[in-house]
């Protein structure tokens, strides 16, 4: 099983600023935790982070046929990007949307996600653990062991 792990703009800065919202772990540390967890499920992870919306859309298009599903923290693009929404929908692969912070406890503009109704599920607010919970949920669904809301991208 292969899973694409996508991180959007500014997440390369994790661990250096805004720990109250995003925790203290760096993106590299979170990726290492995910690799460790994925090994137990015999899942292979492919990581990508970019600050560029076009590069992210290109990466989804290029990898769609190579992965079974996506773990997505689109960061600010969550709230703005029809292009990423369309790319994920077009990939025909299920995805779990994750957020470090609880976006519903923050500014109103973060309460709207252009991705959530396509996702098989959404996990927000558990800092780095959101990724681990998201991976666990995605693996269970891909293995046919878990139930999920019918994500329209599936
Ligand atoms: O809570 C999340 O995971 C977010 O996706 C993070 C995004 C934010 O725009 C979303 O509303 C919620 C922002 C990521 C920015 O990350 C930084 C990390 C350290 C320093 C500055 C920004």
Mean pLDDT score across all residues of the chain: 95
Split at pLDDT 50, 70, 90, the class of 151 is: low
pTM of the model: 0.95
pLDDT over threshold 90, residue 110? yes
Angstrom distance (rounded) from CA 146 to CA 29? 27
Split at pLDDT 50, 70, 90, the class of 153 is: low
Which residues surround ligand 1 with Cβ inside 6 Å? Answer: 10-11, 13-14, 16-18, 22, 73, 75-76, 78, 99-101, 103, 110
Tens of pLDDT, residue by residue over 38-52, are 999 999 999 999 999
Angstrom distance (rounded) from CA 133 to CA 96? 10
Judged by DSSP in three states, 59 sits in helix
Judged by DSSP in three states, 147 sits in coil
pLDDT at position 51: 98
The pick from 99, 132, 133 for probing ligand 1's pocket by mutation, whose C-beta has the most ligand atoms within 8 angstroms, reads 99
Tens of pLDDT, residue by residue over 50-103, are 999 999 999 999 999 999 999 999 999 999 999 999 999 999 999 999 999 999
Sign of CA dihedral 7, 10, 13, 15: negative
Query: Which residue owns the Cα nearest ligand 1 atom 13?
Result: 75
Atom of ligand 1 nearest to the CA of 73: 5
């Amino acid at each position: 099983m292969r899973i694409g792990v996508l991180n959007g703009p500014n997440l390369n800065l994790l661990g250096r600023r805004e720990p109250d919202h995003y925790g203290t772990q760096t993106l590299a540390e979170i990726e290492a935790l995910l690799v460790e967890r994925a090994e137990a499920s015999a899942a292979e992870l492919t990581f990508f982070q970019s600050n560029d919306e076009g590069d992210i859309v290109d990466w989804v298009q290029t990898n769609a046929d190579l992965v079974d599903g996506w773990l997505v923290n689109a960061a600010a693009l969550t709230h703005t990007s029809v292009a990423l929404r369309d790319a994920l929908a077009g990939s025909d692969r299920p995805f779990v949307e994750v957020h470090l912070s609880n976006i519903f406890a923050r500014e109103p503009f973060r309460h709207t996600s252009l991705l959530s109704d396509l996702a098989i599920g959404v996990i927000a607010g558990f800092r780095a653990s959101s990724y681990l919970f998201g991976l666990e949920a995605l693996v269970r669904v891909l293995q046919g062991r878990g139930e999920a809301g019918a994500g329209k991208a599936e």
